[in-house]
Structures are given as structure tokens and as C-alpha cells.
Amino acid sequence: MGRRVATSGAGQDIFEQYRKRLEQDGGLPIRVEENREIPTAAKIEFAENYNRDYHQIRFKPDYPAVDHLKMHELVHLDLVIAARKVSLNQLFISRPEHKEKFIRNLGDFIKSLHKKGYPEQQLANYLTALFEGLNRQIYNAPIDLFIEDFLFQEFPPLRPLQFLSLYRLVQEGLQAVTDKRIVELSPREILSKSKVLNLVGAMQFKMLYGLDLVQKYNASVQEKKEADRLFEEYLEYRPDRKPGEEYEMVQHWAEDLKLTPYFELVDENEYRKPQKRRSLDEALAEMEDDPFDLKKPDPADSERVSMETEPAGQMAVAYYCLGALEWFEGKNREQIQEVAFEISMLGRTGINPRDPDRQYKLATVPGKTFTGLHLLAWMYTGFQLFEPGLDTGLDFAKEYQMALSMHKPKS
């Protein structure tokens, strides 16, 4: 059964009927579009998370049995609508501090890749993808079990498409945790947790369709034991799951796998409460207290260099700082000063941290080429080593601390 069959006929009819019911139940339209750029086979973008008046389903059209993928996302919305009706819906939130903990816990692994010569930006992108992928997995793996069981029980005509689609997804999960090249480039601890979560999906596939792919994962005794335990918890919830209980299972699994430092589940109603606005009296009082804006930050602060809202940039700066720490190791104060001061002098004529194609060289660091952001990270690191209280105009404190946690001085 190929793409043509999977995107027409009974599957499409079932999808349209289900979509109309959810549009009526949830009060918002549901749009659907093909998109080959999304990180997963399909995804749903909830209206509230994107400030839209409609929900958006995106899917990769080249997947077999694509109507199953679209139905899967509709069920996800159905679960959310049910949880909202009893005020139990939760949001899966990942903040910069969660990513920072993730990076810190992978310090030795990151340093090993750094020593192998992988470019900083490539490492930053890889670790961002690893962090986001693991979070997607811990959130979706438990919930997907309920979704697939619902589809299997409630839409028997969809089962041929579901079988083809799940088979493809299980095979992809298998490759992601057994492919030799992926295994070589993945942190062992993260790979093991991912394998456990993929195993649980394979267990459900075996339960629904009788095809056993579990053994192909070559799981260790401990991984198999962990997967069995997680699946048993799902089976306990399965017969009479109440709205919102799927989030309990997400939390339980994350605790078992020690993944809770990387995200948080928050009550949707609390999260979406409008921020308190200043009253007119408060605004007037503020003006009377500081009529000439003397207490407000200096306008120069708005031009400070920061990667706070750019995860890939944060990682790049952390690696640049790590490289600087390694290069400065064994150098005396004067040598570190020379490098920092040379970069500072270059900065007077302009260093562009946003242009990765612009290259710079330093007389104090012969044989090395820098980008603008690379230079600024080195300057920040240098000043931190000999005059940490100096305001350089660079907000790289978090990135520098990440670098320190990864750096192990030579004995």
C-alpha cells in the first residue's frame, strides 16, 4: 500500500469526520498542510501556543499511510480538549536553565567531541537537536500509547494504515538507537534512555499487531527491565484513564529515567493568566519618582551582546569560552591580558558577532582564525580570568559557567 492509497479513501473520510467533530467540540477550526521541514513525521500546533484562532496540523506527505499520522495528531488534540474541560490540561515547558543542566551533565562527552575537532557551531546545533529530541520523546512516548490504543479501538477501518505507519515509525526508532554511526556520536546515557522509550513503543506494536521487533533493539537486561516496568504502568492506566492522567505518566516516566531536570509540566490555566498591568496611579507615581528617567538603565545596555534568546548561539559561545580556557591554561596573566586587549582594540573598529563569514586573526594567537562571536567569547573569558568585575558589555555569564563546568584543567 503506497502513498496514493494512504492519502485517499476510507482514511481520509474518517479524518474529515473526526476533524469536524473536534472543531465543534473545541470551538476552533483545524487546518492541515504538508510540510517536509518539520522534525517529526507529523505535529500539531495548538492555537493558543501560536496566538492563532485555529489549530494547525503539519505532516510529511512522503510517509506511508499518512492519514494515520494526521489522525494521530487529531487524537492528541482530543486529549487536550478533554483535559481542558476539567481544568487539568498541562503544558510541557523547556527553559534555558533546563538546557543548561542538560549541557552540564554532558560535560565529558562534549569535551571529547571538542577534542576530536568538531566545529563549535556544529556541536552547538547537534546538542540543541539532542536536547529537543529527548524532550519530544519523553513528552510524546507515554501519550502516544494512549493515542494509538484509542485509534486501534475506535477506528477499525484505519488499522491497515495504522499498521504500516507504526511499522515505519518503530523501524525508525530502531535505527536511531542501533545505527553504528549514531551510537558512536551519542552520549551513552542519553542513548540508553531513548532506547527504553523506543522499546515501549515496540511493545505496544507487538501487543496490537502481533509483530515482535523488540529483540532487534539489542537492549541490555537493565534497559529491557526498565521498558517492561514503564509499559506495565501504561497497562495499569489503560482501562480507565481519566482526562489529564496522561500527564501523570509523563511525569512518572521522566522521574524514573531521571529526565525531570530538563523540563517542567505546568498548569495551563496558571501559565496563561494575564500579566498584571500597571494602573494609571502606578504609572503616575513612577513618573513622579523618576521624572527624568535617571533610574532607568543606560541606553547603552540595549546594545549589549547577549545570546539569551538564541539557544544555538548560547552553545557556540560556551564552546568558544571552553576553547579559550584550554588555550589560556598555563599562560601567565600578562599573556592573557595581551589577547584580551588586542580583541578589545579590534572592537573599537567594529566586531560583528552576527556575521559567521567574517574572519579575524590575532597577532597574539598566531595560526588561528576567529569569527566575531568567537573573538568576543575569548575576550570575555580573558577578562574573567584576570579582571572578572570589569563590565565588557557582553552578557556571557551563563555560557562561561557552562564552559567552566566542562573544562577540566590538566593535572
Residues 6+ apart with CB under 8 A from 245: 237
Examine the domain organization and report whether 161 and 213 are in the same domain: yes
Is 327 inside any structural domain?
yes
pLDDT for position 101:
84
* Helix axes 66-85 and 245-256, enclosed angle (nearest 10): 110
Is 294 inside any structural domain?
no
Residue 241, all three cell numbers? 484513564
C-alpha dihedral over 10, 15, 16, 18, to 10 degrees?
120
Number of other residues whose CB lies within 10 A of the CB of residue 126: 16
Examine the domain organization and report whether 8 and 57 are in the same domain: yes
Is 363 inside any structural domain?
yes
Tell me how far apart the alpha carbons of residues 175 and 223 are, in angstroms, rounded to a whole number.
16
pLDDT for position 113:
81
Cell 556575521 sits on residue: 355
Q: What sign for the dihedral angle of Cα 303, 103, 403, 187?
A: negative
Examine the domain organization and report whether 306 and 249 are in the same domain: no
Number of separate domains in the chain: 2
Examine the domain organization and report whether 209 and 64 are in the same domain: yes
| Chain segment 33-64, per-residue pLDDT in tens | 999 888 888 999 999 988 899 999 999 988 88
Terminal-to-terminal C-alpha distance of the chain = 62
Model's pTM, two decimal places? Answer: 0.69
Examine the domain organization and report whether 63 and 17 are in the same domain: yes
Cell 598566531 sits on residue: 366
Is 285 inside any structural domain?
no
Examine the domain organization and report whether 256 and 311 are in the same domain: no
C-alpha dihedral over 78, 83, 84, 89, to 10 degrees?
-110
Indicate the residue among 219, 253, 270 that finishes a domain: 270
Examine the domain organization and report whether 306 and 266 are in the same domain: no
pLDDT for position 81:
97
Cell 505496544 sits on residue: 204
Examine the domain organization and report whether 11 and 150 are in the same domain: yes
Indicate the residue among 252, 270, 288 that finishes a domain: 270
Give me the domain span that covers residue 227.
3-270
Is 291 inside any structural domain?
no
Examine the domain organization and report whether 65 and 147 are in the same domain: yes
DSSP 23-44: HHHHSS-EEEEE-TTSSSSEEE
Is 288 inside any structural domain?
no
| Angstrom distances, CA of residue 31 to CA of 56, 91, 383 | 5, 21, 52
Examine the domain organization and report whether 158 and 228 are in the same domain: yes
Length of the chain measured in residues? 411
Number of other residues whose CB lies within 10 A of the CB of residue 40: 15
Examine the domain organization and report whether 330 and 198 are in the same domain: no
pLDDT for position 216:
94
Q: Name the maximum alpha-carbon separation found in the chain.
A: 76
Is 227 inside any structural domain?
yes
Q: Which of the residues in the chain have pLDDT under 70?
A: 1-10, 275-312, 348-349, 410-411
Tell me how far apart the alpha carbons of residues 368 and 156 are, in angstroms, rounded to a whole number.
63
Distant-in-sequence contacts of 186-195, Cβ < 8 A, 24+ apart: 186/130, 187/106, 187/109, 187/130, 190/106, 190/130, 190/134, 192/220, 192/223, 193/134, 193/257, 193/259, 194/133, 194/134, 194/137, 195/219, 195/223
Burial 53-62 (b: 16+ CB within 10 A, else e): eebbbbbbee
Is 130 inside any structural domain?
yes
pLDDT for position 357:
74
DSSP 274-328: PPPPPPHHHHHHHHHH-TT-TTSPPGGGGG-EE-TT-HHHHHHHHHHHHHHHHHH
Examine the domain organization and report whether 265 and 307 are in the same domain: no
